[in-house]
Amino acid sequence: MRAAALTRRFGLWLATGALLLWSLGPIYWAVATSLTAPTDLVAQPPHFLPPRVTFEHYGKLLGATSSYLGTDIQSVWPQFSRALVNSLVVSTLATVATVALAAFGSYAFVRLRFPGRNLLFVLIVGTLAVPAYTVMIPLYRLLVCLHLIDTYLGITLIYVSAFLPLALWLMRSVYQSLPLSLEEAARLDGAGRTYTLLFIVLPIAAPGLIASAILTFLSAWGQFMIPLVFSPTLATKPLTVLIPEFVTKNYVDYGLMNAAGVLAILPPIAVVLFLNRYLVQGLMAGSGK
Amino acid sequence: MTQQAALPVGAMPRPERRREVVPRDERWLGLAFAAPVVLLMAALVFVPLGLTLWDSLHRVDPMRPGTPFIGLQHYIDLMSDTNVRQAWLNTVAYVIIAVVLETLGGLGAALLLQRIRVGRRWLLAAVILPWALPPVVNAIVWMWIYNPSYGLLDGALLRFGLISAPRVWFNYRATALFLVSLVHVWRMMPLTAVILLAALQSVPRELYEAAKLDGAGPVQAFMHVTLPLIAGGLAIALSQSTVFAFNLFDEAWILGGSSLDTRTVVAQVYMSAFQNLHFSYGMALSVLVMVASCLVSLVYVMRVYRETRYG
């Protein structure tokens, strides 16, 4: 019996190790590659640990100039910093706008009675089944007409329209789980509906708002196809579009690309580490009950 | 749209049963709160969707004058387009590989997570992590792992003597499809795991004890207690993984570019519309992809309804 328990425990440890290796192994490899000198990268078999830790790939990304094989070359800091700012600005704007619209909109769909509300809600959440590329071509022509291609406003609007249905769906389940009695008590005390929403309902709904914000931010941060079409220049081009461009015709600088990738995954890693409780709730609620 | 974490299943808002006079201020406030959402979605989703359907019946091509009505000509041409057919076959392969691996791996991870007591929160965070990262960065990291000369994959295979010389895996269509799918599986398996973990946690513990008293082993308990009770979650997870694999673009585009061996239907839409500038041809194909992806996920949704009614 004790032997069986030991085998079971060993099996659990083995499975946990395999799962961790699968999930974190590639991330470790990206970090190790980004710290390995170019001459050590071209080795077979590959080094599991960088033989000499170097920050030269990060220097190329973050420094004013850098040297490669003894000659001074232009660093990519001007493009990289621009794309980093673009990613941050667009993701933040999209997150704030989406959560704000969903907080008020969803409250209206759950608690306020107005003509057509059920039909509208079903139609809007139904657009979750409409993939981005199906509406992308008319949107492209529309934004060209409005001179909104390659502007923060244009990209943000498209992101909001893409991520709003999920946020509405999530906030709906949050509002539905709140007790009505709370709002009725506030009303009896003479509070108006807007006041009740702002100062009584929203504070209790905060975990749901955070979950929607996380899902929206991560989706916007990782978006590739939409900015590939709508952000042609560095005016709004995000990291996800810039990094693959580091591949030149005859040379792929894997050290540089992995370093850029490691910097680009820092915000999502921070979110998963510090906010994983909200993230898991959001994923579970968002996947329909 | 492409990147959503979830697709809602069932649960439509129920109409108010009791008829009472709705105060006028409530009606106006409701309309005011909902109006920005409705206007935005109308302008950026519903109108463009209508335009896509309409334009797919016309010839809209910036290189050629006029937009004549051509009926279903694009749809007919799509049927005989060999590139399009190849892209469909690739997508079907991606869907099958991804759904099978994500479901098996996700179920395994969920069962493991449910058994772990100490540090489950951190293990869960580690499992979710790949899902949170930008797909483009994942693809680049894996591209380096797959590198034929200096990559980790060939290095490991050489060390264990499984291959005698480095191989360029992307030269073979079957391995290229599999390796692209693997990157997608790495990103999407966490979602399946989280959905199944939620389903597993809702199974009452007493049922397992009852099964044990009836003399059921772990395999029997899994087949007769766990599986039927997580069928709903399983259907949601399956429909999620199918829809996401159907809409695969980022990983395939970074790893394979425009190569016909790994091109997905979504990549074909992108190339038709934005590289070859055949706008309406791309739109017609995008309509077909949307319909196909909805139909496939509908199959799972129907199953959920049946399971919840009889289950």
Contacts 24+ apart (CB under 8 A), B60-65: B60/B279, B60/B280, B60/B283, B61/B277, B61/B278, B61/B279, B61/B280, B61/B281, B62/B277, B62/B279, B63/B277
- List CB contacts (< 8 A) between B150 and chain A: 41-44, 46, 254
Phi/psi class of residue B9: alpha, beta or left (left: φ > 0; alpha: ψ in -120 to 50)?
beta
In this prediction, residue A289 carries a pLDDT of 44
A184: pLDDT strictly greater than 80: yes
Categorize the per-residue pLDDT at A249 as very low, low, confident or very high, splitting at 50, 70 and 90: low
Looking at this predicted complex, what is its ipTM? 0.90
Average pLDDT over residues B150-157: 87
Categorize the per-residue pLDDT at B203 as very low, low, confident or very high, splitting at 50, 70 and 90: confident
Whole-number Å distance between alpha carbons of B52 and A138? 6
Q: Which CATH code of 1.10.3210.10, 3.40.47.40, 3.40.50.10320, 1.10.3720.10 fits the domain covering A78-286?
A: 1.10.3720.10
**Do A243 and A80 meet the contact criterion of CB atoms below 8 Å apart?**
no
- List CB contacts (< 8 A) between A115 and chain B: 27, 31
DSSP letter for each residue of A165-227: HHHHHHHHHHHHTS-HHHHHHHHHTT--HHHHIIIIIHHHTHHHHHHHHHHHHHHHHH--HHH
Whole-number Å distance between alpha carbons of B61 and B57? 12
H helices of chain B, where? 24-41, 47-55, 73-80, 82-115, 120-132, 135-145, 152-159, 173-201, 205-213, 218-221, 227-229, 231-246, 250-256, 265-270, 279-310
Whole-number Å distance between alpha carbons of A57 and A172? 46
B4: pLDDT strictly greater than 50: no
- Average pLDDT, rounded, for chain A: 88
What residues does each domain of chain A span? 78-286
A159: pLDDT strictly greater than 90: yes
A64: pLDDT strictly greater than 70: no
Which residues pair with residue A53 across a beta bridge? A36
Contact check, Cβ <8 Å, A133/B38: no
In this prediction, residue B3 carries a pLDDT of 44
Query: Tens of pLDDT along B78-103?
Result: 989 999 999 999 999 999 999 999 99
Provide, rounded to the nearest whole percent, the portion of chain B with pLDDT above 90. Answer: 50
Query: Tens of pLDDT along A115-126?
Result: 888 899 988 988
Provide, rounded to the nearest whole percent, the portion of chain A with pLDDT above 70. Answer: 93
Whole-number Å distance between alpha carbons of A62 and A77? 5
Whole-number Å distance between alpha carbons of A155 and A162? 11
| Token reading at B305 | 């309804």
Whole-number Å distance between alpha carbons of A173 and A17? 36
| Token reading at A277 | 């409780």
Using the Cβ of B48 and the Cβ atoms of chain A, whether some distance falls under 8 Å is answered with yes
φ and ψ at residue B69, rounded to 5 degrees: -75, 130
B13: pLDDT strictly greater than 70: no
Q: Which of residues 32-51 of A touch B (CB under 8 A)?
A: 33, 41-46
What pTM value is reported for the model?
0.89
Q: Find, in chain A, the residue whose alpha carbon is nearest to that of B156.
A: A45
Categorize the per-residue pLDDT at B307 as very low, low, confident or very high, splitting at 50, 70 and 90: low
CA B190 to chain centre: 12
In this prediction, residue B9 carries a pLDDT of 45
- List CB contacts (< 8 A) between B118 and chain A: none
In this prediction, residue A267 carries a pLDDT of 95
Task: Name all domains of chain B by residue range, CATH numbers in brackets.
Answer: 75-310 (1.10.3720.10)
